[in-house]
Amino acid sequence: MREPALIRLLPDGRRLHLHDGPIDLIVEATGSRANVAAAYEAAARRFVSILDELCSELSLLRAQVTENPPRLTGAIAQRMFTAVNLYSSGRFITPMAAVAGSVAETVLESMLAATPLDRAYVNNGGDIALHLSTGQSYLIGMVERPDRPSLFGACEICADDPVRGLATSGWRGRSFSLGIADAVTVLAKTAAGADAAATVIANAVDLPGHPAITRIPAREISPDSDLGNLFVTRDVAPLTRGEIDSAIESGALLAESLCSHRVIHAAAIHLQGHTRVVTHSLDSSLDVSQRSLLHA
């Protein structure tokens, strides 16, 4: 039986929690009290139809993107498709790789269409869409493992940075991964773009055929997974330093290429306590402290 969407303020009275089926958003806006209220109302109004909108063409969204693009009708669906299409040649990818970021972006847009805000974010399970007005900034902490939250790095995103989206992907997260990265965090222009990029980079962090890695066809776990019978990572035994470097390297190569083409702004790849940061510029906005690097 269908459960209704949940719309509530968190106990802190500042953040809005929106929940419907598998979608779970934490929203915070800052600005005048009236504008924040208007923004939350707009967010909630947009939110309540999102799940139905996505589910109405779920089978298309779960299908591999090929040379014949699917005819998607929903605005969010099209956003998802645009974000992943870039990666579709020679790779298995479905629009679902960008669902979280696309939803976050859509909700944020509806808020900004309703009212001006100093700053705002929509956090969809770690895939975050940001709004920053002039002079504003956000400090973002990065978490290595969702089950063991401890920051392994932080970054400050300022209004001048070309970053309005960030996303994290890894095999320990809620979605399946083809790779072995604990977490790949990507900063990009949009949340949908960051989401898709984090997915493909995390997939690329890999040691194909390595016996320490347990992989299972996605459908054996989740019969209607968009990944079908592709093998997804379920466990990674401790790796040697060389193996870790090698796996990170394959992901970093892809991240560097995406950075140099300005598809993403930066990526932090984390695997078994080791982190590699890739940015396209020297003035790295990503700060990964030595202390947290040692944490494993």
Partner 1 sequence: MTDVFPPDTVRCDACPVLCYIKRGQAGACDRYANVEGQLVRVDPHILLDRAKSQGTPVVPFLEREGNWDGKIMKGQETFVTAIGAGTTYPDYKPAPFIVSSEVEGVDMVTVVTEGIFSYCGVKLKIDTDRHLGPERGFVRAQGEPVGHVTTAEYGSQMLSLGGVRHLTGGTKSEGRVTCETLLDLCNAKEVELTIDEGARIRVAAGQPPVVNGQREERMRVGCGSATIGMFAKQWFGKVDDVVVVDDHITGVLSEHQAGKLLGVRETGIAIQGRRSTPGRYFQVAEPGTGWGGTNISDPLTILKPFKPKFAWPHLRLLMVSTTGEQFAYYELDESLRPVGKDLPEALKESVLRIRENCEPALTTVLFMGGAGGSLRAGVTENPVRLTESVKQKLTRVTCGGAPAYVWPGGGITFMVDVTRMPENAFGYVPTPALVAPIEFTLKKDDYAVLGGHVDYVRPLAEVLVEKERQRQVSSLPQNPWPLKPLAGSNES
182-221 residues in contact with partner 1 (CB under 8 A) are 219-221
Classify strands 148-158 and 137-145 as parallel, antiparallel or unpaired. antiparallel
Q: How many CB atoms lie within 10 A of CB 265?
A: 27
Q: Which of 32, 89, 222, 257 binds partner 1 (CB under 8 A)?
A: 222
Please report whether residue 33 would count as binding partner 1 according to CB under 8 A: no
Closer residue to partner 1, CB minimum distance, 37 or 237: 37
Per the CB < 8 A criterion, the answer to whether 268 and 184 are in contact is yes
Q: Does 44 bind partner 1 (CB under 8 A)?
A: yes
Alpha carbon distance 89, 66 (integer Å): 7
The full length of the chain comes to: 296
Q: From the list 30, 41, 64, 118, which residue makes contact with partner 1 (rule: CB under 8 A)?
A: 41
Q: Tell me: does residue 8 bind partner 1 (CB under 8 A).
A: yes
* Closest distance of CB 50 from partner 1, Å: 11
**Distance, CA of 62 to CA of 93 (rounded, Å):** 9
Interacting residue with partner 1 among 55, 75, 237, 296 (CB under 8 A) = 55
Stretch that binds partner 1, among 40-48, 159-167, 236-244, 265-273 (CB under 8 A): 40-48
Interface with partner 1, residue 121, by CB under 8 A = no
User: Residue 11 CB, nearest distance to partner 1 (Å)?
Assistant: 4
Q: Is residue 156 a contact point for partner 1 (CB under 8 A)?
A: no
How far apart (Å, rounded) are the C-alpha atoms in residues 80 and 192?
7
d(CA 200, CA 138): 25
Do 128 and 191 contact (CB within 8 A), yes or no? yes
Planar angle of CA 224, 89, 93, nearest 5 degrees: 20
From the list 108-116, 222-230, 258-266, 279-287, the region that binds partner 1 by CB under 8 A is 222-230
Q: Is 174 in the site for partner 1 (CB under 8 A)?
A: yes
Q: Would you count residue 273 as binding partner 1 (CB under 8 A)?
A: no
Evaluate whether 194 touches 264 at the Cβ level (below 8 Å): yes
Calpha distance 15→11 (Å, rounded)? 8
d(CA 61, CA 75): 12
Look at residues 131, 114, 128, 214 and name the one whose alpha carbon lies nearest to residue 169. 128
Q: What gap in Å lies between CA 207 and CA 241, rounded to an integer?
A: 13
Which stretch in 45-53, 69-77, 80-88, 164-172 sits in contact with partner 1 by CB under 8 A?
45-53
Residue 16 within binding range of partner 1, rule CB under 8 A: yes
Q: Shortest Cβ distance from residue 260 to partner 1 (Å)?
A: 35
Q: Which is nearer to partner 1, 143 or 188 (CB)?
A: 143
Query: Which residues contribute to the site for partner 1 (CB under 8 A)?
Result: 1-11, 13, 16, 20-22, 24, 37, 40-41, 44-45, 48, 51-52, 55, 58, 146-149, 174, 219-224
